[in-house]
Amino acid sequence: MELQQNFELFHLPLSARPGKTKSERLDSRVSALEKYLLICAFVVAAVGAANDICSRRIPNWLTYGGLVAALAVRCAAWGWPGLKTGFFGVLLAGGLFYILFLLGGMGGGDAKLMAAVGAWAGSAQALAILIAAAIAGGVLAIAYMVFNRRMCQTLRNTLELVRHHVTSGPRPHPSLNIGEPNSTRVPYGLAIAMGTLYCASNAFWWR
């Protein structure tokens, strides 16, 4: 009986066979393309992390070039809706880092790298990458403090920064800021790459 049903189904026209609708197939293709854009986001983040670790700088050709390329790909694939999603990804992912940059707590290259990653990831994944990168950055910072035995000094600096911003507003601290030559910092490009890798892996293998 089952063999006969399969035989009859085989001879049905393609349009009459049960399966995904045209809309469902389109959604599936869009979802697949978004996953590959996450891979592009990770590649950009990984190159930025390598530069950040080796030279403590993230080049503009990577950040600006990656951002423009991402918006161009999204526009070519989905038109204005895709471009809008990319812009929202830039604002969401890069916006918070830009605020931290203005406060003196984040490098400009880190903020631009996060914006480029957000352009590739789009608004749907930008927040997840932002949270994952923040967690990775916290883990790296704790590891750095333990390795260099700077836990107490870092806690004192954190309290001083809080006091400064409460009394002086968003103005950067005169000595505790990323631009101070003697300041030490964690290569945050690595944290961005780790957060992006987590979200890309989650999209491919855990869903």
Question: What stretches of 40-98 adopt beta strand conformation (E)?
Answer: none
State residue 16's pLDDT score. Answer: 42
Q: Which domain holds residue 74?
A: 34-137+186-205
Tokens representing residue 135 in the block: 């967690």
Identify the pLDDT of residue 194.
Answer: 94
Q: Report the pLDDT value the prediction gives residue 99, as an integer from 0 to 100.
A: 87
pLDDT given at position 141: 76
Q: Return phi, psi of residue 104, to 5°.
A: 85, 10
Residue at 66 is within a domain: yes
The answer to whether position 165 is within a domain reads no
Q: How far apart are CA 198 and CA 136, in angstroms?
A: 10
Q: Which segments of the chain have a pLDDT < 50?
A: 1-18, 22-27, 165, 177, 179, 181
Rounded CA-CA distance 110/51 in Å is 11
pLDDT of residue 18: 47
Residue 2 lies in a domain: no
Tell me if 94 is assigned to some domain: yes
In a domain, 167, yes or no: no
What local confidence, expressed as pLDDT, does residue 174 receive? 54
Structurally, the chain folds into a number of domains equal to 1
Is 118 inside a domain boundary?
Answer: yes
Give the per-residue pLDDT at 171.
Answer: 58
Per-residue burial over 84-113, b if 16 or more Cβ lie within 10 Å, else e, is ebbbbbbbbbbbbbbebbebbbbbbbbbbb
List pLDDT tens digits, range 68-123. Answer: 999 999 999 989 999 999 999 999 999 988 988 887 777 889 999 999 999 999 99
